[in-house]
Amino acid sequence: MPGRRVAITGVGVVAPCGIGRDAFWTGLLADPGEGRERSLPDWDPTPWFDNRKEARRTDRFTQFALAAAAMALEDAGELQAAPERTGVLIGTGIGGIGTLEDQILAGDRKGLDRVSPFLVPMMMPNAGAAAVSMRHGFQGPCETTVTACAAGTHSIGNAAHLIMEGRADVVIAGGSEAPLTPTAIAGFGNMTALTRSGHSRPFDVRRDGFVIAEAAGVLILEEWEVATARGATILAELMGAASTADAHHITAPAPGGAGAVTCMELALADAGLSAADITHINAHGTSTPLNDASEAEAIHQLFGDRPLVTSTKGVTGHALGAAGAIEAAAVVLSIANRTVPPTMGHEQPDPELPTINLVTGDPVEWEPGPSLSNSFGFGGHNGTLVIGPPTA
């Protein structure tokens, strides 16, 4: 059954700029202010748990995944697919690092017999996907992709291919990350990946690193006929996806964006489109010197300066394995609202970068068309989604 169409029928987001579909969209259009991290300091997981004990035994990244999935499922309405034909693919970059760090300290300070028996099920990267599967009784493929900052995008792309190839009818797909621990922040900071200025400035001449963030994003993907048969509101179509590796360096992108170019070309081929069909690109745009230069070169090489380009990381910061998922959600909401958000933080173009049609300042009204969502991760992982407006 190859070639089946994939409908996007639900969106759930937990992000510092807004929790829930509408609040997230509003946040994407607002100035986030400055700071070296984007967090949810007032996060309360209890609305998504039966009791506080259950919440305490669940790592923060899994809490985010459960909340985003619940919101996406509510947004989609009642699903009709059989449980064994409903999958869950939720990626992450570093999983339950908060629990891991806490329990290493507990073992060191209090003795190893005081390490929690819940350490392993709380820290394991597949805990988010497993929790969503068990909470809702979904018995289809339940998997976790761990490809650094491309994990959310790869999870959504892999989920779409499960449906296209007839191996599932519905997949709950996305990414979740809660990396704001002292050791993780120190690690990223000591490798000079984080901003020193406290600003996320994608593609700006003053960019000096990313603002680290926590977040989760989940999309409900359904086989097109399954969605239409139940009368679902189709928000967008997942038209194609691709994944490549730079095979170049553990952190630096390939020169000239070679791996990114191939990934975007393969995603276009998967969707049956050409470069001329693309009208909008949600860039990876981390605000790091090498990434933005490489991506700008790749975009210019394939598309010139024609499609509207934005990096929503100017608002959200960089949520690592969840980044691609919340950015795919941003593309879906851009289609629904017929508007492309601006690249917040970008004020001074970099004369060394090739010209791309970067949206800055104010949002831009837009006639929705096929769009790309790009993610590139440490290890040389590249991922691209092709998302378009719903058509008959």
Q: Is 280 a catalytic residue?
A: no
Dihedral Cα 94, 95, 101, 106, nearest 10 deg: -160
Q: Is 284 a catalytic residue?
A: yes
Quote the CA–CA distance of 317 and 286 in Å, as a whole number: 8
Q: Which of 154, 199, 318, 381 is catalytic?
A: 318
- Nearest CA to 155 out of 138, 172, 170, 169 is that of 172
DSSP for 283-313 reads ----S-HHHHHHHHHHHHHHHTT-SEEE-TH
Contact present, 176 and 324 (Cβ < 8 Å): no
- Nearest CA to 227 out of 180, 170, 174, 277 is that of 170
- Nearest CA to 330 out of 296, 357, 303, 368 is that of 368
Q: What is the 3-state secondary structure (H, E, C) of 331-354?
A: HHHHHHHCEECCCCCCCCECCCCC
Dihedral Cα 97, 103, 109, 115, nearest 10 deg: -160
Quote the CA–CA distance of 261 and 264 in Å, as a whole number: 5
Angle (deg, nearest 10), helices 323-337 and 151-164: 70
Q: Is 17 a catalytic residue?
A: no
For residue 349, what are the β-bridge partners?
A: 204
DSSP 59: -
Round the CA-based radius of gyration of the chain to a whole number and report it.
Answer: 20
For residue 173, what are the β-bridge partners?
A: 89, 219
Q: Which of 154, 199, 280, 284 is catalytic?
A: 284
Q: Beta strand pairing status for 170-177 and 86-91?
A: parallel
Q: Which of 149, 154, 161, 199 is catalytic?
A: 149
372: phi then psi, degrees, rounded to nearest 5: -110, 150
Task: Please list the active-site residues.
Answer: 149, 284, 318
